[in-house]
Each structure stands twice: as structure tokens, then as C-alpha cells.
Structure 1
Amino acid sequence: MLEVTILSSGGQWVTCDTTNKDGGQSVRVTFVYGSTSSAERRELWYYLQYQNSINGSHPWLVTGDFNAIMRVTDRQGGDSNWYRYMEDFPNCVHQSELIQLAADGLHFSWHNRQQGPTSILRKLDWAFGNHQLISNWPQAKATFQARIDSDHSPILITLSPRAPYQRARFKFLNLWADQEGYEEAVRAAWGAEAFGNPFSRLTTKLRVLKGHLSNLHKRNSSHISSRVAQAEKKWQEAQVFLDQNPHDHEAR
């Protein structure tokens, strides 16, 4: 469980300390939501540079929607001009001594939700850490996931390597009780032969029932979870293909 303490907030940021109550290390996090106005974003750049001077001894993570790109290759479609104010963001990152986290997933984190020639892609979302954060978690990584409800990619930040995979625990779905074959499955499980003391016989029959219910789910529920997962996978693959082939008309 995390304890979160807000330290400061403004129109374009919230900075807080997050501490693991189980004894883990504290991380200072600045969540960014940059203005669409380049003039207003200057306040954000000044703030980040100031924070760098007071966060040197703290692991500091800075992430969110900066509404700014770092380089020409961070955009596809729309206005192709490079304006002077666009230098403000990379200059701020340099002055704040921020290091971009290793990243995977989509490069273009924002899409204007249009198709064909009017399609626009931008890299507007970023994840940075200071030297203290990278020193403490050298394998820190930001994964830019496929867009679902928003026109921006969700950012999943991992400080430590992922724990070994654990199989999901069995869950009883209430809808099973209304399906044809449910009562027969229960009777079959309860009629199964079991040995040992009463508690041992009970747990044995529950394990048998779990197998019957899993088969009932596969037979009657049309693998809904699987179909949802397949549809989401296709949607993510389409976004990855567009991200890697922004000039391809079919992808757009």
C-alpha cells in the first residue's frame, strides 16, 4: 500500500511523495499536464528547473502529458514547421538534468483520432527520472500502451523487474448459476467419490466442482474473455503498425 503526500500543485503539475508502507523506498513524483499554450508552458519549464535544485537527494520521477515534442521525428502529419518555442522543452530537460526512462511500446503517444491525410501523430507523453532515481532503479522502464478511451497512450512505469507470473486464482461467476447444466455439474461433483476426514472430502469435491465449472464456462460462455482479449490484441497491433508506419495509407 502506498502513502501519498501532495507537496505542491499548479495548473500544469502535481508533485507528491509516494512511500511504500511495507518499508519500501520513497519516490517523489511530478505528474504533468502541460498547457496547449506555449507561453503558459513556460511556467511548467521554470517549475521543473527549480524542482531539480531541491530534489537532488530524492529519487524523482517526472511523467505525463507535456504537450511538447523533443525533436522533429516526434511528429507525423499536420504542421511540419519547427518554431522557436519548441526548443523550450528539450532545453528544460537538459537544464533540469532529467534522464528519459528506457521506453517500449508506442512511440507516438497521441493521435487526433482522424483517418487518412488528416491523421496526426505526436509524441507528447514522456517519462523522466533524475540521477538518484536511475541510480536506485537502473532497470526503470516506461511502457506506452495502446490507446483505449483517451487519445493519449497510458503510461505504465516499472521501477523493478516484473515478478514471476502467477496463475490467476479461480473465481466463481454468478452467471453460472443461471446457465443450463449448472445444477448437473454440482450434483456430479458432489457425487464424486472422496476419501479422508470430512474436511478433506469437502476440499476434494470443491476441486472437482471447479473443474466442472471451468468446462461449463468454456462450453456456454462463448469464451467471452478470450474474444475480448483477441479484439484488444488486434486493436493494439493496429496502433503499433500505425506507429511504425505513419506514412502508410492503409494504416492511417
Structure 2
Amino acid sequence: MWKRSVGCNVVDSSNNHIDVHIMEGSRVSWRLTCYYGYPEREKRHDAWCFLRWLVRSDNIPWCIVGDFNDMLCASDKMGPHPHPQLLLDGFKAIIDECGLLEVDLKGGDYSWEKSKGKLNWVRERLDRAFADANWWRKFPLCKLSVIHTIKSDHDPILLELVNTEFSRKQFRFKFENTWLHEPSFKEEVVHYWEDIPKIHLLPKLLSVSSFMVR
């Protein structure tokens, strides 16, 4: 946001969210919601209704990131007392209903822990980022990383963006047959192809082609 060509306007906020419009020049380019889900288990349905309201409140490319205090699958928790399947199913259902796709987390499986080193040590993935299809088209090569810290029970997450809105004049790609003679070429192509979530063909093509021309 330090660039003069990019600005942000806070358009709404509450105890649980901050809604921001990201400006590129004089136009609204996309929307970022920083979110904190209710920590109380009895308020899960309230949290899901709030997410439903958020997705309907605007129609520009949207990314929502933060501490959801929710989990999508059993593997999102390590430790005693598994997360209730009913809550797992409910959170997944609202994410699907909102048309959101998750940004894969790199650098670790969990972002919160309690009682480390003890018998009741619990680790959970509570901090996440989701985006709609229009946002993914704009930032298909985005990257979400967990940054480990010893000063908090929550590890911060970092969302890095790569804008790939190339025009035909800006982006040209030509395949070089000599690349096929490199011993690790096919293996690396498979790695870059599978590293991108199965969302759009374009992100996968951009990831593979960017690797080739580096």
C-alpha cells in the first residue's frame, strides 16, 4: 500500500472483520476482508451466516483471510478430542455455498497450538485464506505461507500476490525443444503443475511457463 499507484479504502468494519477496497489508479480493483471468526463453538452458525452476508455484500474480486476459528477436515487438528464432524461439514458447506476456494498453506499444516510438549498438546489450522473465482483469475500464482514464532500461540500467515493480467504484447511464450534434454525437466514440470490448486487451467500454465523461462 506504500505505492502511489495502489491505495486502499476501508468500507466496512466490525469486531469480526475489516472490509477493504484495493484501488489501482482511480478504480476499485479487488476486495480484501480481514476476518476473525467467533471463538465460541455455540456461535458457529452465527459465523457461517456472517460469511454468507459478506459474500453477498459486494460483487468485485474477493479474498478473505484471517482466523476463522473453524476447520474443514479432521486432519486440520492434531491432539485429543477430535473436532465434531457436524462442524466440519457445516464450515465446508458454507465455503462451497459462497463459491470460495482455499489458498494452499505452505510451510506447515497448523497455525495455532496449545500446551506444546505436554500430553494434551493440541495443534489446529485456524488461520486461512479463501478467494472467489474472479480473484483467482487475477492472482493465480498467489502464495500463502505460515511464519513460525515463539512469542504467540498463533503463527502469522503471509499472503503474497503475483498479478498475472498480461496482455498479448506483454507475455510471449515459446517452447524450446532443447529443454527436453535436461535430465530433471519433466520431473520439475510435474512439480510446478501439481503445486497449483485444481482451480483454473491458466494458473497452471502460467506456473509451468514461468518456471521454463526463468
TM class, shorter-chain normalised?
Answer: 0.5 to 0.7
Aligned partner letter, 2:20:
C
* Pairwise CA distance, 1:144: 1.3
Instruction: State the 1:54 CA deviation.
Output: 4.2
Say what the alpha-carbon RMSD is for the aligned residues.
2.2
Inter-partner Cα distance in structure 2 for 1:69 and 1:147: 21
Q: Could you tell me how far apart the structure 2 residues matched to 1:38 and 1:127 are?
A: 21
Structure exhibiting the larger radius of gyration computed from Cα positions: 1
1:127 to 109, 126, 129: 129
| 2:46 aligned residue | 43
Q: 3-state SS of the aligned residue for 2:154?
A: coil
Q: In structure 2, give the amino acid aligned to 1:106.
A: G
As a proportion of its length, which structure holds more strand? 2
Task: Tell me the number of residue pairs that the alignment of Structure 1 and Structure 2 aligns.
Answer: 159
- Between stretches 29-38 and 4-13, larger displacement belongs to 4-13
AA paired with 2:158? Answer: L
Deviation of 1:70 after TM superposition, in Å, equals 0.6
- Paired residues for 1:47-86 under 5 Å: 47-56=50-59, 58-80=60-82, 82-86=84-88
- 8 Å Cα contact 1:16-1:29 kept in structure 2: yes
Q: Which residue of 1 aligns with 2:30?
A: 27
In structure 1, C-alpha distance between the alignment counterparts of 2:162 and 2:147, rounded to whole Å: 18
TM-score, normalised to structure 2's length? 0.66
- CA deviations over 1:106-160 (Å, ceiling 9, x no partner): 1111111421312110011111111111011111121112134221121111111
User: Structure 1 vs Structure 2: percent identity of aligned residues?
Assistant: 23
CA contact (8 A) 1:64 1:126 kept: yes
Q: Secondary structure at the match of 2:89?
A: helix
Q: Matched residues in 2 for 1:91 and 1:25: separation?
A: 29
Deviations 1:27-66 (CA, angstroms, capped at 9, x unpaired): 211111111112323333212223323433x121101001
| Structure-1 residue corresponding to 2:173 | none
Cα displacement (A) at 1:80: 2.0
- Aligned partners of 1:59 and 1:138: how far apart in 2? 12
Instruction: Tell me the equivalent position of 1:14.
Output: 18
Distance 1:43 1:3, change over 3 A: farther
TM-score for both structures, normalised by structure 1: 0.57
Structure 2 counterpart of 1:141: 143
Structure 1: how far apart are the matches of 2:27 and 2:12?
23
Cα distance in structure 1, aligned partners of 2:68 and 2:7? 26
* Matched residue type, 2:44: R
Structure 1 spans left out of the alignment, 5+ residues? 162-252
Q: State how 1:82-101 maps to structure 2 within 5 Å.
A: 82-101=84-103
Q: Is the 8 Å Cα contact of residues 17 and 26 (structure 1) preserved in structure 2?
A: yes
Map of 1:152 onto structure 2: 154
Task: Using the TM superposition, give the Cα deviation of residue 74 of structure 1 relative to its aligned residue in structure 2, in angstroms.
Answer: 0.6
Match of residue 247 from structure 1 = none
C-alpha separation in 2, matches of 1:158 and 1:69: 22
After superposition, residues 101-250 of structure 1 pair within 5 angstroms as 101-160=103-162
Counterpart CA distance in 2 for 1:113 and 1:5 is: 39
Q: Specify the alignment match of 1:218 in structure 2.
A: none
Match of 1:224 in 2: none
The answer to which structure has the higher helix fraction is: 1
SS in 1 for 2:119: helix
Gap change, CA 1:59 and 1:50, over 3 Å in 2: same
